[in-house]
Structure 1
């Protein structure tokens, strides 16, 4: 267990499963800070809609799902999590959008693929989930071109993972504003016919990879293409990783329902997210969580100056 000596009158959460994070790339930019917060036993998070703070305690935390486009900075810390008995897996996003500039500050694909392989060699391929997210169509990327890019990446890493999660682009209002702000036009959501065409192509590619395929938050069934409903916080994968942990197995039996805080089509089980909006500096044009890129950069710089901060969000909303 992790000791928590801090006292506060604000609302407190004591999660068993932590997400780090849907809202920002903690492994890429905040791994040192995150480890410091685990050592301190808590962090403070602000509600992105009303700016109210609440406290996340790590005293009961047994599992972390990491979301990232670059886990390299956190690899050195993995023995620390192991020493605490905290288990984990990585949702590792590998997109090939460098030519279009949709992911402004993301490392070159070649480097990210090498890190993917290295991480898999260190922790095991069952703990490194390949995400192709979001799947984008635009005037610059046709469906066949998108499949070709995914094929090239899959041919490189299929021996280093067991799962591929796909997620089709959703044009939220905040995303639409960002696209206009970045000067991108023509990016659009898939038509249903294009979803089935893509699924057909991906299913064909997977005959040589033999990966477990799933799709995030889709209202159309893709089972005929051997693509399951996605569960990014996945009780089955957690159960596989924690097969020798009686506490986690019992916990999953009792807590494998839908996370009601997520969108209606999301299949994830409950977890507590430790990230904060407007803190990621990858500069992805399609991001829903970075609504103010300038504020994100300022928050990042402030946290570098204040590495012992209780919260990664120092400037407010």
Structure 2
């Protein structure tokens, strides 16, 4: 059952049923801010888009933005979106960024990304433009390998944290989930990247907490959809579609306050939630996110990250991007 109400909308194809979410994710499936800004703005102005099931292209779903109050942007390079944020402001959407900024340059695990220094500059510029509360730093995923032992990984994390901590309030980390489609890519790569073993996680958590304590602006730490309890090191179970942040960004909206577990009349008065916020039934077991409808598409991101679960192959990505046309309702 859909966690969103179903309404009737008018599309270019005529009347259709559409889901009407309060929060939209743009997108866990692809980097919309890096590669699909034109499409995003076209669809926001049109008031709806078409989403296709990545496992069954014939299964389609219209998504209307009529009730949407908050957009969550997921990106490794949001630079192309920065000059267009005023247009999104004018459309009266609130938004924040999940900005993944890793340093795997020596291993070439993210070959399609801009240089690290440029990404650092983009992070700081974005934070200055929208406020550091609205730019979440993600190191996602944490990877180890023959040339990247735990000590070296923590050194890289520490170096970035010293640069980025004044420009954000939060760091979220995750550990690699090994999907069948990426096993071959990882095994064939010269750096032989791997997920940390369960026995290695406590040392990484302790090291991260130690680094964070020494940063210019110590951050709140979170782990994304992880079963492990890392609270002993100050690392909480994270909600990327975050009820606390979304309720603050949309203080005047009663529907958002209820979604986030607050009574509208109490939203500004009570720091504690009188009831639990809604949970997204479509997410993994240990995910604490609010329901947020994703509008992205798999195999549409040219970053080419070796560990990426969302791309079938770079050849498929290139073929799909060649098929894109202006004004299309769906991303692919």
The structure 1 segments of at least 4 consecutive aligned residues displaced by more than 4 Å after TM superposition are 7-11
* Corresponding position of 1:231: 239
- Say which of 259, 272, 275 aligns to 2:280: 259
Deviations 1:204-231 (A, max 9, x none): 1111231000001111100010000011
Say yes or no: does 1:96 pair with 2:103: yes
CA apart distance, 1:5: 3.7
Instruction: Give per-residue Cα distances to partners, 1:67-98, cap 9 Å, x unaligned.
Output: 00011111122112211221010000000011
Q: Unaligned 5+ residue runs, structure 2?
A: 1-7, 263-275
Alignment gaps of 5+ in structure 1: none
Shift of 1:311: 1.3
2:128–2:167 Cα contact (<8 Å) kept: yes
Q: CA deviation at 1:190?
A: 1.4
Match of 2:298 in 1: 277
Q: Which moved more, 1:116-125 or 1:293-302?
A: 293-302
Do 2:9 and 2:16's aligned partners in 1 also have CA atoms closer than 8 Å?
no
Once the two structures are superposed, residues 135-187 of structure 1 have per-residue CA deviations (whole angstroms, 9 ceiling, x without a partner) of: 0011221101000011111111110000000001121112213335x635632
Match of 1:18 in 2: 24
Tell whether the 8 Å contact from 1:235 to 1:256 is kept in structure 2 after alignment: yes
**Mean Cα deviation higher: 253-262 or 117-126:** 253-262
Are residues 83 and 247 of structure 1, via their aligned partners in 2, closer, same or farther at CA, if it must alter by over 3 Å? farther
Q: Deviations over 1:249-299 (max 9, x none)?
A: 233227823211111111111110010001011000000001122111222
Pairwise mapping of residues 154-173 of structure 1 onto structure 2 (< 5 A)? 154-173=161-180
1:217 aligns with 2:188: no
Task: Give the secondary-structure state (helix, strand or coil) at the position aligned to 2:184.
Answer: helix
Other-structure match for 2:330: 311
Within 5 Å, which residues of 2 pair with 1:284-295? 284-295=305-316
For residues 10 and 49 of structure 1, the distance between their equivalents in structure 2, rounded to whole angstroms, comes to: 22
CA RMSD in angstroms comes to 1.8
CA contact (8 A) 2:76 2:101 kept: yes
Contact 2:186 2:194 in 1 (8 A): no
Give the structure 2 partner of residue 178 of structure 1. 185
How big is each residue's C-alpha offset from its partner over 1:12-50, in whole Å with a ceiling of 9 and x where there is no partner?
211110000000000000011101111111111111112
Indicate conservation of the 8 Å contact 1:230/1:267, yes or no: yes
TM-score between the two structures when normalised by the length of structure 2: 0.88
Aligned with 1:253: secondary structure?
coil
Aligned residue pairs, count = 308
Question: 2:258 matched to which residue of 1?
Answer: 250
